[in-house]
Structure 1
Amino acid sequence: MNISDYSNKVNWLFNQFPVFQKVGAKAYKPTLDNTKSLISFFSIPIDEMSFVHVAGTNGKGTTCSIVASALTESGKKVGLFTSPHIKDFRERIRVNGKMISENEVVHYINMVQSHSFEFSPSFFEITWAMALAHFYKMDCDVVVVETGLGGRLDATNVIIPELSIITNIGLDHVAILGGTRKLIAGEKAGIIKKGVPVVIGEGDEEVAPVFKEVAEAIEAPIYFLENLQEVDAFQQNSNLAFKALDILLGDISGKETLYSNAISKLYENTGLFGRSQVYSESPLIILDAAHNPMGVEKLIRNIQLNYSYRNVRVLYGTSNDKDLDAILGLFPVEWKYFFTEFSNNRSTRIQDLKENSNVKQLNAKYFSNAKKAFTEAKSIESELDMIVVFGSFFLLEDII
């Protein structure tokens, strides 16, 4: 097999089936029947597999990766399913940090291509079934799974996990999940299973009752993380992951060392990318996939908390389904901004950014090309300047 075979197969997969990463809400399939049929097609005995299931508005990928890294450091063979990918489709499917091979991806796509289905599965459903087939083939001890969208009707919600985790609840994908945090919490709570412990990262007075009601009705032990003030988003996700691991691992010796190694070997064990990632030390460049109001607010607070002495230059581009008023209203006026479009057709256009009333008070430049915007942002004027890139996975894909 040559590289073009793999590329052609993945391109076919993207084009053959609807994919949220490319077309948005039209790709969402509010049913689990397709996923169950695909699992049967691939002959995957999911009842014989062990899972950790993670949902939430923000921090899912980071929390999944920390849990997976710690379990890897404990000596287990750990499957990790996350989305979206940034450069390579295979980033979504890993075992102990190693991506699924190109040959195996081609093999599974060939199976799909050669079969005539009586339904139209989505890109995500196909990818999830392929991942399960790979994890079963690799004889994983446990698989850590990030939901794609929501929880109750997400394609991943066919599993019975050892533990469920819900990171937090914010307003995102409201056209699909509901227009209030309470409604969205109800959808995310759909991953809570009978008798299975669930850990909640952020449970305030609006959403905590939703989780408690669901958990109590099906006798699922529920735990709420104590939220500490003045901790950044990564530390919050780490604290949540460690609380979940305390439940999973029980009383084992050397937990502090295990958790420390999980963080220090996070990239090696999971390939986690684009979450408060230091991309460059000189100049200091931080990449983050924050893309909704809650995520952006946490990122800005993190930068202000940890880099208060720095001159911040922001490279920002976002998808056209985001709440621009809510997001741009969070931007500190003392920062310098480089607004850009990115190559994906879901990009917000520069004209829409220029017309937003919140932008008019900002020191901003505008670009139609993300690489050019990144080059301009990196033309720093002082050693105290730093660059923060955020707004979309698509933006990160364009510049790295």
Structure 2
Amino acid sequence: MNYQQTLDFLYSKLPMFTRVGASAFKKDLTNTIILCNALDNPQDKFKSIHVAGTNGKGSTSHMLASVLQAQGYKTGLYTSPHLKDFRERIRINGKMISKTEVIAFVKNQKQLIEKVEPSFFEVTVALAFDCFARHQVDIAVIEVGLGGRLDSTNIISPLTSVITNISLDHTNMLGNTLAEIAGEKAGIIKKDTPVVIGETHEASAPVFNKKATEMNAPIVFADQVLTALDFKLANNKLSLSVYQGEEIKYKNLQSDLTGVYQHKNILTVLETLAVLNAQTEIKTDVQNVYKGISQVKKQTGLQGRWQTLSKNPLVICDTGHNEAGIAEVIKNISQTPYQNLHIVFGMVKDKDISKVLALLPKNASYYFCKPDLERGLAANELADQAAGFGLKGNTYSSVAEAKAMAIQSAGAKDLVYIGGSTFVVAEAI
């Protein structure tokens, strides 16, 4: 099989969450354990950091990897989903896994895959762990796919666990309350292993504290230790200063991820690095923290986070797709100068979209579209529901058509925002 045939085999043979939703989510770790046993348990052969959370886990994972890379560590990075190329999920020092490695892995494991019938995600996790072990990475940053407790990645024994935040998402699988969802995310907290929580929330904090006590895991809430102030946005960089109490820890820290919401992720990253410095052999110095935070996109290839696609008109996309994520996007829109607002918007059909639609600005022209996957919500259904919230616009047969029409309709000083789903962003960039 060549590379495309290999991907076609994986896509056609294995249930894939991004395409079909909940039916692809395997509610135990059995398949992952079988696959990794057959590979001589590669997950035990490298040091790791495990990152969960509802929003921000991707940005946080990429930032951590960028700093560790800047420090000179050979750094693995596993994230999902991909936007353009399957290989984005598995990187070492920012470089995607080779097509040859993907082909060889699937060829060697084809019989086992056909026997076990794992999910697409389970195979991808096994491939990532095998890749990191064979390349002998110094450290790997492993992003949880969904939840935590039953996620395929949860067979690692990390140096530290990180949970960015909790908000309502994937409620059909993880629970209908913040406490229930926190319980699933808290499943990555391991015995005697420090855990960093990004944001304190009254509903989730007791859940995390209880689990940490049970596991004898030292716990710290980043937003209780560090504060971000003095925000500025200039030359495509977000700049801020970070304080610990009255003491300034990082003055004028620059980030190439310009979404204002990134300050929360930056605090989570800085506290995680402090924990690693204090409690493990993985050390980073201030100079490389500055370097790593300022060059995330360049060093790790991160895309789709408040990303500028073009100017005149200004076209920006963002992968925020749930209530909390869209709330942050709206804050960014409100801080961006523009004359008229155009919003290209599409969603998937297994989400509660009413809470998202309620947040969206009414004084915008909407271009409703359906991302090109089975889970995509039909554009006319989205438009009908949006009309109930006073959102007016037209429907388009594809993301590309909606984007083209928005840009064509916009004046030079207008803003075109593209989002609603990771898959809409994937088609737009």
TM range (shorter): over 0.9
1:351: how far off?
2.5
- Work out the CA distance in 2 between the residues paired with 1:237 and 1:379: 35
More moved, 328-337 vs 226-235: 226-235
| 1:312 matched to 2:341 | yes
| 1:57 matched to 2:54 | yes
- Work out the CA distance in 1 between the residues paired with 2:26 and 2:275: 33
| 1:293 matched to 2:290 | no
**What residue in structure 2 maps to residue 108 of structure 1?**
105
1:47: how far off?
2.4
**What residue in structure 1 maps to residue 271 of structure 2?**
243
| 1:145 matched to 2:142 | yes
Gaps of 5+ in 1: none
- Partners of 2:338 and 2:414 within 8 A in 1: no
Task: After superposition, give the CA deviation of every residue in 1:17-72 in whole Å (9 maximum; x if it has no partner).
Answer: 10101111000011111111101112234223201000011111100000000000
1:255: how far off?
3.8
1:57-76 equivalence runs, <5 A:
57-76=54-73
1:202: how far off?
1.4
1:335: how far off?
2.3
1:397: how far off?
2.5
- Work out the CA distance in 1 between the residues paired with 2:158 and 2:377: 38
**What residue in structure 2 maps to residue 343 of structure 1?**
372
Q: Which residue type is aligned with residue 154 of structure 2? A: N
More moved, 222-231 vs 308-317: 222-231
- Partners of 1:6 and 1:105 within 8 A in 2: yes
Give secondary structure in 1 for the equivalent of 2:417: strand
1:348: how far off?
0.7
1:308: how far off?
4.6
- Work out the CA distance in 2 between the residues paired with 1:29 and 1:363: 39
Identity across the alignment (%): 40
More moved, 24-33 vs 279-288: 279-288
| 1:167 matched to 2:195 | no
Task: After superposition, give the CA deviation of every residue in 1:192-219 in whole Å (9 maximum; x if it has no partner).
Answer: 0111111111121111000000001111
- Work out the CA distance in 2 between the residues paired with 1:259 and 1:350: 43
Scaled by the length of structure 2, the TM-score of the pair is 0.88
Q: Which residue type is aligned with residue 222 of structure 1? A: I
**What residue in structure 1 maps to residue 287 of structure 2?**
257
Q: 2:96 aligns with which of 89, 95, 99?
A: 99
**What residue in structure 1 maps to residue 238 of structure 2?**
none
**What residue in structure 2 maps to residue 279 of structure 1?**
309
Gaps of 5+ in 2: 232-259
1:309: how far off?
4.7
More moved, 53-62 vs 347-356: 347-356
More moved, 61-70 vs 116-125: 116-125
- Work out the CA distance in 2 between the residues paired with 1:40 and 1:301: 46
Give secondary structure in 2 for the equivalent of 1:387: strand
Q: Which residue type is aligned with residue 182 of structure 1? A: A
Scaled by the length of structure 1, the TM-score of the pair is 0.94
Task: After superposition, give the CA deviation of every residue in 1:288-313 in whole Å (9 maximum; x if it has no partner).
Answer: 11111111111111221x31555322
